[in-house]
Amino acid sequence: MARLFGTDGVRGLANDELTPELAMAVAASAARVLAAHDRSHRPLAVVGRDPRASGEMLEAAVVAGLTSSGADVLRLGVLPTPAVAHLVTELSADLGVMISASHNPMPDNGIKLFGEGGHKLPDGIEDEIQQGLNAEGPRPTGALIGRVSDVTDAVDRYVARLLDITPTSLAGLRVVVDCANGASSVAAPEAYRKAGAEVIALHAEPDGVNINDGCGSTHPQALAAAVVEHGADLGIAHDGDADRCLAVDADGRIVDGDQIMAVLAVGMAEAGELAGDTLVATVMSNLGLHLAMKEHGIAVRTTAVGDRYVLEELRAGGYSLGGEQSGHVVLPEYATTGDGLLTALRLMSRMTATGKSLRELATVMSRLPQVLINVPVTDKTTVADAPAVKDAVAAVTAELGDEGRVLLRPSGTEQLIRVMVEAPDADTAQAAADRLAGVVASVG
């Protein structure tokens, strides 16, 4: 059987690949696995979701699966993924379930699982859950069936936590926040206002079908225009479940996850808060980040793509900052997973603490021209291993030499091959990426 869990949980087209039956089975198996690992008490799970329409259906299925296996459930409602991770700890839960497909289009949905302490589950536990999907055996009856209740102040609890760990007031900043019509539509504007900023909310009216639709971190153009129109100091773009953020400076220029990490890393190093003077990044991070960190005496540890792998390296090395170019940034002293709101608050705090604009701060690194092409394929694993594709990658890599690089990898969440090329100039990068994408498409 193919592995059910990808780099960020179980994901697919809702009610087709990700059916309520599968959601119920995953939740029931997760509760049984947790109970088997700790028989000292009845399992308690918290369940949150983003506002996409299928989340209502899948939430019902997940709750049914959990309670049918004897777990009690606290429903959190619509809130960001990092809020679920935080509330696992605050509410002393054994399991957190977030129903979201993050930045994916509305028809998709997903299930993310967090264990005790709000950490993503290790591969071994996920494999146990998958193996137990069709388990037969006696079910709880009577008083042993799980109970369900609602947490009505879940967003308030999360925002209060964010404010507690925000180091400086944001007074004097005007920020436009694009909530992607997603899970941060209430929490992000509220958190930034309470931290002292003047806030203009954009795409903060979810209706179940407009999540990520031409907005948010995957479509920052509208945010860039709004920042300029309102004369704002910066813009913040979240994705559908707000575990990431990108930024826009006052002139409408995009500031990506690499640049955000560079700004935070330099600030933390200056304050003696960057453990081991080390930043953890993925193989997708721009070469410019590596060069900038070297200039500031900061080492870079590189992992596979996926914030779970960044988290593993952070925990293994005791490091204090890591993330991805896409805007997943992890600060393990304060959060157990990527948190777009926490990242934005830290970035804005750096602005107010230094008195510098975001544009000034972002000059700490220069991005090499980078082209990323997503190529739809029928079988991403087979295509990535095809000899013709490997030969093409080797040829382009040799041509670029030390002045650029090539990265080709299967998407962790979709049937895509991601072709990324960095080169000294944009034309060279585009031409090489187009060439490789053509080979991938011809094979796939």
Cα 112 to Cα 9, 202, 241, 261, distances in angstroms: 5, 26, 11, 24
40 is catalytic: no
CB 173 within 8 A of CB 196: yes
CA neighbor of 264 nearest in space, from 345, 384, 145: 345
| Angle, vertex CA 335, rays to CA 115 and CA 227, nearest 5 | 130
Tokens 């709004």 correspond to what residue?
A: 226
Helix (H, G, I), strand (E, B) or coil at 328: coil
- Rg over alpha carbons for the chain, rounded to the nearest Å, is 22
d(CA 391, CA 408) in angstroms, rounded, equals 12
Tell me how far apart the alpha carbons of residues 208 and 222 are, in angstroms, rounded to a whole number: 20
Q: Which two tokens stand for residue 404?
A: 């650029």
Within 8 A by CB and 6+ apart from 137, the residues are none
Distances (CA, A) of 32 to 75, 142, 316: 19, 17, 28
243 known member of a binding site:
yes
**What is the Cβ-side half-sphere exposure of residue 193, based on CA atoms within 13 angstroms?**
8
CA distance 319 to 64: 39
Residue 250 φ/ψ, nearest 5 degrees: -65, -20
User: Binding site annotation covers 241?
Assistant: yes
Cα(235)–Cα(131) distance, integer angstroms: 44
Tell me which of 102, 184, 185, 285 is the catalytic residue: 102
- Is residue 102 marked as binding? yes
- Residue 112 tokens read as 């993310």
DSSP 338-359: --HHHHHHHHHHHHHHHT--HH
How far apart CA 436 and CA 442 sit, in angstroms, is: 10
C-alpha closest to that of 291 among 269, 258, 319 = 258
Q: Any idea which residue has 């954009």 for tokens?
A: 202
**The token pair that represents 360 in the structure block:** 């000034």
Exposure of 375 by Cβ count < 10 A (0-12 exposed, 13-18 middle, 19+ buried)? buried
Annotated binding site for Mg(2+): 102, 239, 241, 243
Catalogue the active-site residues.
102
Which residues participate in the annotated binding site?
102, 239, 241, 243
